[in-house]
Amino acid sequence: MKKFAFIGAGSLKFTSRCIRDLLLFPAFDECEFALMDVNRQNLDYIVQVVQKILHEMGYSDKCKITATMDRAEALRGADGVLCTVFNGDIDIWQYDILIPKKYGVDINVGDTRSVSGIFRALRNIPLMLDICRDIEKYCPHAVFLNYTNPMSMLCGAMQKHANVEVTGLCHSVQGTIEMLAGWLGIPKEEVDYKCMGINHLAFYTELKHRGTDLYPALRELVMTNPDIYNEEQVRNEMFLKLGYYVTESSGHNSEYNQWFRKRPDLIEKYCTHSTGWNPGEHAFSLNIRKDRKADPAQQYIEYLNKEVKKVKSYEYAADIFNARLGDGKPFIFNGNVLNRGSIPNLPEDACVEIPVVVDRMGFKQTMAGKLPEHLAILANTTARLENLTIEAAMKKSRELVYYAVYNDPLTSAVCSLDEIKQMCDELFEVNKEFLGDYK
């Protein structure tokens, strides 16, 4: 019986999807799900969710549920670990959004990049390394899959400073392919692509259907169909100007560069009226979290009142676990790994998102090749300041944090050096419970 530990199990979307997906593989029709969360209410609700999944899929008598607030208990003897933790609830996370706004830095999500993503990384890197130490102690051979953001910085820190088999997963790669295929009227299974870069800032350097380049048709569609253009205004504008499509949503990408959020008129033009799920409004994800905290049970109750879908989601986790721990069928996915020359024009020690092959023997990253140079410039800046942030977290260096934020594309487009330093000092003060004494 395989054991899967879910650290931060109260994350309804990822826990429910992964467990449902695992049960669709014959290798996992008898297994233990160890659910761990520091929030007792969320833990109790996610147990009910998993019980519902097992019952409706016919596995109540075959699979075991263990619920605990003790991480060591959840990890002991685990074969696979899935992490969706959130260190610093909205009570602290809100300051990552509100303090930069005082200085003119308008944040949409703030979980991956810019000054908000950097401070979120500083809070989460010590927690992730603690989880790794527990994995080394209680399940040293486990496959560790991380869904927590900021993905590149957390995975980079773990891959450099821990001895675990870990990669980071995001669904923006396959989600964007599903969107583009729908626009083009092509079954998503028939779209062939190569995607590489860094998490949330990876580009499809190849996009084909039966050997035919899809980019000319996509460009024509984006240029001539207002409904298509308006669905993803930031990403479509980037595509038309840069020539390649980027993975993550418009709202996210608007805060990863210097082009869309540095002035109120640009925010109004590009980040307000898009029809996609995340146009780019200020504090988008924070406001969702506030709604959930006001009524924490609602999302679970809604799930419990719906029928469980017995079809696989587009998440990678179950396929990876099956390749490593199940029938061994190799699986190709876009994972977050240390570069080691895979993209020659990005830093050697950067955490990149590239095609990875997984089988019984482990993860095998591919040699993805060079990014187009103009895209490499954009990714290089971010990758290097992410490396600097990891170093700052390990050394507890306030000065290195300043350097990283000084070079952030959005922050530097809005603020002076002195303003950035003052902003960081304010963020250090409200984060001192999590960060301790940075020198």
Active site residues: 171
Classify residue 110 as left (phi > 0), alpha (psi -120 to 50) or beta: left
Radius of gyration of the chain (CA): 21
For residue 191, the cross-strand partners are: 209
* Contact by Cβ (8 Å): 384, 349: no
Pull the structure tokens for residue 398.
Answer: 């306030």
CA atoms in the 13 A half-sphere facing the CB of 61: 1
Pull the structure tokens for residue 254.
Answer: 């608007």
- Rounded Cα distance between 284 and 55, Å, is 35
Pull the structure tokens for residue 85.
Answer: 């933790």
- Rounded Cα distance between 57 and 60, Å, is 8
Rounded to 10 deg, the angle between the 417-430 and 114-138 helix axes is 40
Q: How long is the chain?
A: 439
Q: Which residue, among 37, 69, 40, 63, has the nearest Cα to 51 in the 3D structure?
A: 63
- Rounded Cα distance between 223 and 240, Å, is 8
Buried b (16+ CB within 10 A) or exposed e, 35-64: bbbbbeebbebbbebbebbbeebebeeebe
